[in-house]
Chain A
């Protein structure tokens, strides 16, 4: 018989109370794990959509372009992309490079007109960096010069379909209005709201013709090893000189990743509230345990138990409840997370008519971070032990004679 054995027996004195307290911890921790899994999934999906459809891992701009990217300044474009391609072609970590021309334009179906992002692509090189070609859900990829791809959502908004005619209206490099008639060759459904709702994809030479220019707005790069992205960025920057700028997808979407950080803070706050509620449950349980065992504490002290052993006993009790609650919480959290990993949550109905800044839609699948699960388990146990200290103080302050007299 040791203090730990005694604590173990004490924990099961009131099984129902112990179970309810442990369950409160479990729910709190399960929520924490589930939310983390969901956020990891959302972040991963968002990053994937950005990399696969919007920017690639890295983008090269002419110096000064990115500062005014929102304005699509056509006077600071890459006039001679071949110069850059020659210089970076031997870098091993580059998997693919493709040029793009992005510009502001309006799409007109003869009745309605909407502002969209025009994207001119090189259909041969595009697939080395982006997955746009794989997302055609109706019709076919760009073939003829006047073919255009639009998102499924945009087609719905504009009442367009494969084979429909539309006009793209924009201002060229000199500020002159230009228009071009296209035939919708295919509808894409990427899962990235920017592409699906707000963009029109066309041949790069048509885009250049519309804008009266020969250059491109950006070169998009896909790397073989994302872990060495910063290293690759530096290597490219050193090779292409000071007239160009290189940015990672995270730098280009700093706002989105900042939102992700904020969401994580919000998620942590919610989980913290749940854990605080659970902690109050432990305090309550331990306080009741101390109160109803005052004569017993007196007896133990009379036997020669010092405060050290009394504190140890109650801390073990809080710890045992914490371990059980945390273990079950992790189990519950993982169970719910596995569902999220394999089946996901379908947000398409919820986000269908919503203008999302965040580049995700459809089914969001989770990603379990096992280090977080371990951290959450340790957190649960530590919180359980720490909050036990307060009720235990009462036990240590009891004089044996007063405790024995207690009825």
Chain B
């Protein structure tokens, strides 16, 4: 479970302070498929970054399964990300010199695991995202939708407890966006992995089981379907 307690985040640009989050209190249960929605500048990405140990709050705390992540050292945060989190980015962020297979295999570089098991996991993920035929394709040989599928497979290959996706459909057309969301939801149901994703896309919100709407760094609404 992710618990945010009175979370504040300010950005300082020169001498001016920009508040991004202003007192967020929130609980997300394990296995939820949650969208964090809101207009640009509402604090969606900041919230995801803090949950993902990529950024630290100015004030407040984040507990993941009871562990405060704000007190972790840089090394411990990296370890936490390595073991517990998967990330999906708006721009896919695949490594262009690697094939689909190798991109999915990337997070396993850091995991001590027999090569055969790694191979099985990667192949199985490729099958789950429907890209078994694209195993040797590089990112420039795939469509945006296919690239995002690879990114999702990469996020899930090490079996994290939570996947954080920042605007995962922003660079996709509506057909591909639907397919990606269906895939994410399917994997959420199948693997019981918590999915938290930011969006301002109405289509994405339709797929979400819970929509937390942010406005000016505060929770405006929190609806469960």
Contacts of B108 in A (CB 8 A): 1
Q: A345 at the A/B interface (Cβ < 8 Å)?
A: no
- Interface hit among B22-30, B74-82, B142-150: B74-82
Contacts of A13 in B (CB 8 A): 96-97
Chain B residues with a Cβ under 8 A of chain A? 49, 52, 54-55, 75, 78-83, 85, 87, 89, 91, 93, 95-98, 102, 105-110
Q: Contact check: which of B54, B78, B93 meets A295 at CB < 8 Å?
A: B93
Rounded to whole angstroms, the CA-CA distance of A9 and B79 in the bound complex is 26
Q: Mark A1-35, 1 if CB is under 8 A from B, else 0.
A: 11101100110110000000000000000000000
Q: Mark A289-312, 1 if CB is under 8 A from B, else 0.
A: 000000110111111111001000
Q: Contact check: which of A295, A296, A303 meets B110 at CB < 8 Å?
A: A303
Q: A404 at the A/B interface (Cβ < 8 Å)?
A: yes
- Say how far B109's CB is from chain A's closest CB, in angstroms: 6
- Say how far B164's CB is from chain A's closest CB, in angstroms: 9
- Dominant secondary structure of chain B at its interface with chain A: helix
- Residue of A with least CB distance to B75: A306
Contacts of A10 in B (CB 8 A): 97
Contacts of A309 in B (CB 8 A): 109-110
Residue of B75, B78, B79, B91 with most chain A CB atoms under a 10 A cut-off: B78
Q: Are B79 and A304 in contact (CB under 8 A)?
A: yes
Count, chain A residues at interface, CB 8 A: 25
Rounded to whole angstroms, the CA-CA distance of A296 and B96 in the bound complex is 10
- Dominant secondary structure of chain A at its interface with chain B: helix
Q: Contact check: which of B81, B96, B102 meets A302 at CB < 8 Å?
A: B81
Name the 9 nearest CB pairs between A and B, nearest first. Answer: A304-B82, A9-B97, A299-B93, A401-B54, A304-B81, A401-B55, A1-B105, A306-B78, A400-B54
- Residue of B with least CB distance to A2: B109
Contacts of A298 in B (CB 8 A): 93
Rounded to whole angstroms, the CA-CA distance of A129 and B85 in the bound complex is 83
Q: Could you list some 21 contacts between A and B, CB below 8 A?
A: A1-B105, A1-B109, A6-B98, A6-B106, A9-B95, A9-B98, A295-B93, A298-B93, A301-B78, A303-B81, A303-B110, A304-B79, A304-B81, A304-B83, A304-B110, A305-B78, A305-B110, A306-B75, A309-B109, A399-B55, A404-B93
- Say how far B159's CB is from chain A's closest CB, in angstroms: 13
Rounded to whole angstroms, the CA-CA distance of A109 and B79 in the bound complex is 94
Q: Are A302 and B52 in contact (CB under 8 A)?
A: yes
